[in-house]
Amino acid sequence: MRFPEPRTLSDLADWLGCTFVGDPNHLVTGINEIHVVESGDLVFVDHPKYYDKALNSAATTVLINKEVEAPKGKGLIVSDDPFRDFNKITKFYKPFAATSKAIADDLEVGEGTVIQPGCFIGSNVKIGKNTIIHANVSIYGDCVIGDDVIIHSGTVLGSSAFYYKKRPEGYDPLISGGDIRIDNRVELGASCTIDKGVSGTTIIGEGSKLDNNVHVGHDTQIGKNCLFASQVGIAGCVIIEDNVTLWGQVGITSGITIGAGCVVLAQSGVSKPLEGGKTYFGYPAEEARKKYKEMASIRVLPEIIAKLKQ
C-alpha cells in the first residue's frame, strides 16, 4: 500500500508515539507484508524468530519491538506493539467507509458489461468490457476487473484476510488495506471468496477458471490459464504460476510457490513449494508416482510381516 506522499522516519515515528533508529529524514513510501516488500516499504515484525528476515528484507523501514542496530540504508521504528501500530497506519490511509447505496457512484464500467440485480459494488471499482456480473455478487471495493470476465452468483471479492494476533482478551485482526485484480477472461464460479491483500494486491491471472466454492487468500497471486476445481482452498501470500491445475479439495498453505504446469490431484495437501511441470498427490503432496508406489508398498506390508513371522 503506497502513501499519497512519502513520510520521513522521524515524522512517522512521532505520529505513532514511537522512537526511531536511523536518519530522521529517511523516507517511508508505503507499507507491505514481508512476502511482498519492496524498497521504500515499511514492514512490521514482533517476534524474535523473524527479526533477521525483516531486517534483511527488501523493506527499507522496519517497525520492530526491540531496539537494535539499523542495517545500512534502513530505518527502524521501535514500538511496544508493532501489530497495533501497523493497523494504525492502515486505518489512517484506508479507513472503512460505510455506504447507503448498492452500487457506488464512482463505479467505472466498460461497454457491453452486464451487472445483474442484487449486486453490491463498493467504491473504487473498475470493470472492463463485455463482463458479466451475475446476481448477488458482492464486490467490496478497491477492485479492478478486466474484459470478458464472468463472475457467478454469491461470489465475494474483497473480504478481509484471515490474519489474527492472539491477545489475552481474544483475537486481534490485522486490518486489510489492499486490493484485488481480476484479469481478462477469468471465470469465477458460484460462491467463490477472494480476499483482498493486507497491503498489496490479490491477483487472478488472465484466462484462469475457478469452479464453485473456491477460496483464495490475501495477497495470493495466481498466474495465467490456471484451472481450479471446487472446494480448493488457498492460503495467503501464495504464488501460483501459469497453467497450474488444482483438483477438488486441494489445500495450500501460506507463503509458498507452485511452479508452472503443476497438476495437484484431488484432496491433496500442499505444505511446501512444488516444482513445476509435475503431478502431485497426497498429504503432504509429493510426486504422484512416488506416492502411489508408497501406497502399494503399504498394502503388501501385512503379507511381508506374516512371512517374516513364519
Residue 267: phi and psi, rounded to 5, are 65, 20
C-alpha cell at 208: 484462469
CB 192 within 8 A of CB 171: no
Which of 255, 299, 261, 265 minimizes the C-alpha distance to 285?
265
Which of 117, 118, 121, 109 minimizes the C-alpha distance to 147?
109
Burial category of 218 from C-beta neighbours within 10 Å (exposed 0-12, middle 13-18, buried 19 and up): buried
Cα dihedral 183, 184, 186, 188 sign: positive
Residues annotated as catalytic are 218
Q: How many CB atoms lie within 10 A of CB 96?
A: 8
Q: How many CB atoms lie within 10 A of CB 117?
A: 8
Distance CA 198, CA 71 (A): 26
* 3-class DSSP assignment, residue 55: helix
Which of the 8 DSSP states describes residue 71?
P
